[in-house]
């Protein structure tokens, strides 16, 4: 039997987050839109975010996927996807506190105290820096260099599009330590505090996300800054990128639910030529197609999450969910904007806000083309068999 029903626990988690988003997050939307419109900043202030995270913590919502021994909830991937769907129902950039990048768990005892634990508690903020002006999809082409000088390492190079790079207290930066080996044993990850000498510059984008470029000019760090092992950085980078690709389209599911709900309401109330536009087949088809794609996306996301939760090889399923999510969320937001006519194009409504934000899903953490490349390769090289999804 295939059972698509949620367990009682999963339903309870989903319902709790839905109520939290409705009560605490959605009421902030108008203020967030106002601030973004007048250039008073993106989203919430650090204090506001922290306040909401601590509020959620009172109900034990803290560290959704953080292991229980680190004070987290230790939820599995399916529950995490359900949480993300609910958070996606608002464009206010909120996530629960108590998390750290998965690769920080490779920290040694000293790094654990200095980086991992303060990141989980929210005292310190990290950023993940591999992309460079000359190396995005082709991450193996990075040129940032770290060379030994006595017992230290000296890092030089530039990173670009680093999420949180302008706010982070420290970075996990990837640099070539052995050019001959390159990505196969010659890239190392360093934990580097901002006050050790790197600079950041914000990058203005079409959305409300503000990544940054990071500049390293003779930044000197001790040997103890290496995360994991010297030369093993590329594997860590791939582990970070693969940590939860399914969570990105999961957020898009939530966004599409809200957007489609808005379209249904608008179609039923907006009248032209004496009747609600909901009675026009052109509008009905846009609503129908969006619903079909939204439900297909939901199943792809949950099926990928289910594979992650069961420790199965989920890469293929995650690429499919990410690709489909990026494509379909963009088609859905475009239709919803169309259904709203001129109002959809204004900043009175958040549709254009989502329109700009969802566009990113087709680019970061593996572009559409890179996902297609991976999916096709899996089939062409025989790693995955056509039609074998259910075993
Ligand atoms: C807002 C934002 C936040 C980001 N956050 C981070 C972060 O925190 N840390 C970090 O390290 N990076 C981050 N990135 C970088 C992101 O991962 C890269 O932008 C992405 O991987 C694409 O790389 P690129 O921009 O260099 O494009 P390119 O790799 O130059 O690609 C250009 C175009 O060519 C296509 N293409 C490339 N190779 C192939 C191929 N083999 N076959 C077919 N088509 C191909 C691409 O799909 C794309 O359409 C972020 C980017 C953005 C925009």
Cα dist. 73→6, 69, 79, 222, 230 in Å?
18, 9, 11, 34, 32
Looking at the DSSP bridge assignments, the partners of residue 171 are: 127, 192
Q: Whose CA is nearest to atom 12 of ligand 1?
A: 131
The conformation of residue 308, written as its DSSP 8-state character, comes to H
User: Counting atoms of ligand 1 from 1, which one is nearest the CA of 369?
Assistant: 47
For 173, the enclosing helix (H) or strand (E) is strand 170-176
The residues lining ligand 1, judged by C-beta closer than 6 Å to any ligand atom, are 128-131, 136-138, 161-163, 205, 209, 211, 360, 363-365, 367, 369-370, 373
Instruction: Give the pLDDT confidence score for residue 266 in this predicted structure.
Output: 98
Q: Which of 367, 368, 372 should be mutated for ligand 1, with most atoms under 8 A from CB?
A: 367
Instruction: Give the pLDDT confidence score for residue 17 in this predicted structure.
Output: 98
Tokens 């995650």, residue located: 318
Residue 152: CA atoms inside 13 Å, Cβ hemisphere, count?
9
pLDDT in tens, 215-253: 999 999 999 999 999 999 999 999 998 879 999 999 999
Q: Which of 43, 161, 165 should be mutated for ligand 1, with most atoms under 8 A from CB?
A: 161
Instruction: Give the pLDDT confidence score for residue 41 in this predicted structure.
Output: 83
Instruction: Give the pLDDT confidence score for residue 159 in this predicted structure.
Output: 98
Q: Whose CA is nearest to atom 4 of ligand 1?
A: 161
Q: Whose CA is nearest to atom 2 of ligand 1?
A: 161
- Cα(371) to ligand 1 centroid in Å equals 11
Question: Contact at 8 Å (CB) between 248 and 85?
Answer: no
Cα–Cα distance measured from residue 218 to residue 145, given in angstroms and rounded to the nearest whole number? 10
Least Cα distance to 101 among 78, 79, 124 occurs for: 124
Beta-sheet pairing, 170-176 with 126-129: parallel
Q: Which residues of the chain have pLDDT under 70?
A: none
Instruction: Give the pLDDT confidence score for residue 2 in this predicted structure.
Output: 83
Task: Spell out the domains of the chain, with CATH numbers in brackets.
Answer: 8-101 (1.10.540.10), 125-235 (2.40.110.10), 243-380 (1.20.140.10)
User: Counting atoms of ligand 1 from 1, which one is nearest the CA of 205?
Assistant: 1
Question: Contact at 8 Å (CB) between 329 and 361?
Answer: yes
Tokens of 204: 């203005």
For residue 89, give every residue at least 6 positions away whose Cβ sits within 8 Å of its Cβ, in sequence order, or none.
18, 21, 26, 254, 255, 257, 258
Instruction: Give the pLDDT confidence score for residue 389 in this predicted structure.
Output: 81
Cα–Cα distance measured from residue 377 to residue 366, given in angstroms and rounded to the nearest whole number? 15
Q: Whose CA is nearest to atom 43 of ligand 1?
A: 369
Instruction: Give the pLDDT confidence score for residue 203 in this predicted structure.
Output: 96
Question: Contact at 8 Å (CB) between 157 and 135?
Answer: no
Least Cα distance to 222 among 101, 106, 105, 110 occurs for: 110
Cα–Cα distance measured from residue 260 to residue 333, given in angstroms and rounded to the nearest whole number? 8
Q: Is 365 a catalytic residue?
A: yes
User: 117: exposed, middle or buried (C-beta count within 10 Å: 0-12, 13-18, 19+)?
Assistant: middle
Instruction: Give the pLDDT confidence score for residue 215 in this predicted structure.
Output: 98
- Cα(329) to ligand 1 centroid in Å equals 19
For residue 28, give every residue at least 6 positions away whose Cβ sits within 8 Å of its Cβ, in sequence order, or none.
44, 48, 92
Q: Whose CA is nearest to atom 23 of ligand 1?
A: 136
Instruction: Give the pLDDT confidence score for residue 242 in this predicted structure.
Output: 83
User: Counting atoms of ligand 1 from 1, which one is nearest the CA of 367?
Assistant: 47
Instruction: Give the pLDDT confidence score for residue 39 in this predicted structure.
Output: 85
pTM for the model: 0.96
């Amino acid at each position: 039997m295939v059972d698509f029903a949620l367990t009682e626990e999963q339903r309870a988690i989903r319902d709790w987050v839905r109520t939290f988003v409705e009560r605490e997050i959605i009421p902030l939307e108008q203020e967030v839109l106002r601030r973004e419109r007048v250039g008073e900043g993106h989203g919430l202030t650090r204090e506001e975010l922290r306040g909401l995270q601590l509020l959620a913590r009172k109900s034990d919502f803290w560290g959704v996927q953080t292991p229980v021994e680190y004070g987290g909830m230790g939820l599995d991937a399916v529950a995490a996807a359900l949480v993300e769907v609910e958070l996606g129902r608002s464009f206010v950039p909120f996530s629960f506190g108590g998390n750290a990048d998965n690769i920080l768990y490779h920290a040694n005892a000293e790094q654990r105290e200095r980086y991992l634990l303060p990141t989980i508690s929210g005292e310190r903020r990290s950023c993940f820096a591999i992309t460079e002006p000359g190396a995005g999809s082709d991450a193996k082409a990075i040129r940032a260099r770290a060379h030994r000088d006595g017992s230290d390492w000296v890092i030089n190079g530039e990173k670009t599009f680093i999420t949180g790079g302008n706010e982070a207290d420290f970075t996990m930066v990837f640099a070539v330590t052995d050019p001959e080996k390159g990505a196969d044993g010659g890239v190392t990850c360093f934990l580097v505090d901002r006050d050790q000498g790197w600079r950041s510059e914000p990058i203005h984008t079409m959305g409300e996300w503000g990544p940054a470029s990071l500049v390293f000019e003779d930044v000197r760090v001790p040997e103890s800054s290496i995360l994991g092992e010297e030369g093993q950085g590329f594997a860590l980078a791939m582990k970070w990128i693969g940590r939860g690709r399914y969570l990105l389209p999961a957020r898009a599911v939530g966004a599409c639910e809200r957007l489609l709900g808005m379209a249904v309401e608008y179609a039923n109330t907006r009248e032209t030529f004496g009747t609600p536009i909901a009675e026009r087949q052109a509008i009905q088809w846009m609503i129908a197609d969006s619903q079909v794609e939204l439900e297909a996306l939901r199943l792809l996301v949950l099926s990928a999450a289910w594979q992650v939760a069961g420790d199965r090889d989920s890469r293929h399923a995650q690429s499919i969910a990410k690709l489909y999510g990026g494509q379909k969320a963009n088609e859905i937001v475009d239709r919803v904007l169309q259904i709203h006519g001129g109002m959809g194009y204004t900043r009175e409504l958040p549709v254009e806000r989502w329109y700009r934000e969802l566009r990113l899903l087709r680019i970061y953490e593996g572009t559409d083309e890179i996902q297609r490349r991976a999916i096709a390769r899996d089939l062409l090289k025989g790693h995955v068999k056509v039609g074998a999804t259910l075993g």
